[in-house]
């Protein structure tokens, strides 16, 4: 039986991930497609509320390792839901996922493989669209600077860590420099359209 596809949208802060995932989910739902959006971190659960405090209150102290494990715990909290949806033929669209988990923590100096380890065994996206500025355009967007990680020098380090995933066969760079929301939407669509009616292959796991 055809399963749903697992599609992740990744990128630095303010690159347009939430804008694009919301447009995509709306369009596909209007077309009657079975699709669900999951945003990481979802800030509403108990772990999510703690993460929200960490991100928004720069005085709130948590070791880098424990913050990292909380983000991973968030993913494991939802793994059953994701797997059930995929099995039922529902495509799952992710606004951030494991890649953000590793990139932001490794950018602080934690070992890259150590950062990936707690996520091993999670379902691996069939495709990852990485919304990318060639320069530092994301840092010039409205709202940038409000949260803990929205600091220019840190974003540059996160970018380097994200780029370590470039080369994986599911990774697609989508350059957004100077492109309108509509232009990015069209490009996102050309990538995602191949996946929305599901796949016959098994879901891969992070390993
Ligand atoms: P992210 O989820 O990646 O942090 P958002 O989707 O929240 O980014 O977008 C960040 C800001 O940039 C928002 O104010 C949004 O309206 C704006 N924005 C998103 N895409 C574009 C675009 N292609 N051109 C100009 N502004 C954009
Ligand atoms: P937004 O809600 O604006 O996407 O910001 N993050 C996210 C991590 O450090 N580790 C993770 O595992 C995930 C999913 C990136 C969320 C912030 O949280 C960071 C920015
Ligand atoms: Mg967002």
Query: 134-172: per-residue pLDDT in tens?
Result: 999 999 999 999 999 999 999 999 999 999 999 999 999
Share of the chain above pLDDT 90, in %: 99
pLDDT at residue 198 in the model: 95
Reported ipTM: the value is: 0.99
- DSSP per-residue codes, 129-185: EEEE-SSSGGGGSTTTTSSTT--HHHHHHHHHHHHTTBTBTTEEEEE-TT--HHHHH
- What CATH number is given for 6-195 in this structure? 3.40.50.300
For ligand 2, say whether the CB of 96 is within 6 Å of any of its atoms: yes
Q: 16-30: per-residue pLDDT in tens?
A: 999 999 999 999 999
pLDDT, position 139: 94
Mean pLDDT of 173-186: 98
How many angstroms is it from 201 CA to the middle of ligand 2? Answer: 29
- What confidence category does residue 1 fall into, taking pLDDT thresholds of 50, 70 and 90? confident
For residue 41, what are its two tokens? 């971190």
Q: Provide mean pLDDT across the span 129-136.
A: 96
Q: Which atom of ligand 2 is nearest to the CA of 41?
A: 14
Each residue of 30-48: b (16+ CB within 10 Å) or e? eeeebbbbbbbbebeeebb
Task: Identify the nearest ligand to the CA of 24 by its number.
Answer: 1
pLDDT tens digits along 62-119: 999 999 999 999 999 999 999 999 999 999 999 999 999 999 999 999 999 999 999 9
Nearest-CA neighbor of 163 among 4, 10, 8, 7? 10
Question: Contact, 39 vs 29, CB < 8 A?
Answer: no
Q: Which atom of ligand 2 is nearest to the CA of 95?
A: 4
Listing DSSP states for 73-139 in one string gives HHHHHTHHHHHHHHHTT-EEEEES-HHHHHHHHHTTT--HHHHHGGGTTSEEPSEEEEEE-SSSGGG
Mutation test residue for ligand 1: of 8, 11, 12, 14, the one with most atoms within 8 Å of CB: 14
């Amino acid at each position: 039986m055809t399963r749903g596809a697992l599609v992740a949208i990744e990128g630095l802060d303010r690159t347009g991930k939430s804008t694009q995932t919301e447009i995509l989910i709306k369009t596909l739902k209007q077309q009657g497609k079975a699709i669900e959006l999951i945003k990481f971190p979802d800030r509403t659960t108990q772990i999510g509320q703690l993460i929200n405090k960490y991100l928004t209150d720069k005085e709130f102290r948590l070791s880098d390792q424990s913050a990292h494990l909380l983000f991973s715990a968030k993913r494991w909290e939802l793994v059953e839901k994701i797997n059930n949806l995929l099995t039922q033929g529902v495509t799952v669209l992710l606004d951030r996922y494991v890649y953000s988990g590793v990139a932001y923590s490794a950018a602080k100096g934690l070992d890259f493989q150590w950062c990936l380890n707690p996520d091993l065994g999670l379902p691996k996206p069939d495709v990852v669209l990485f919304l990318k500025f060639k320069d530092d355009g994301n840092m010039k967007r409205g709202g940038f600077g409000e949260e803990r990680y929205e600091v220019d020098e840190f974003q540059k380090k996160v970018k380097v860590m994200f780029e370590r995933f470039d080369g994986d066969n599911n990774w697609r760079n989508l350059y957004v420099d100077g492109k309108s929301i509509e232009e990015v939407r069209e490009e996102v669509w050309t990538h995602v359209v191949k996946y929305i009616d599901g796949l016959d292959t098994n879901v891969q796991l992070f390993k």
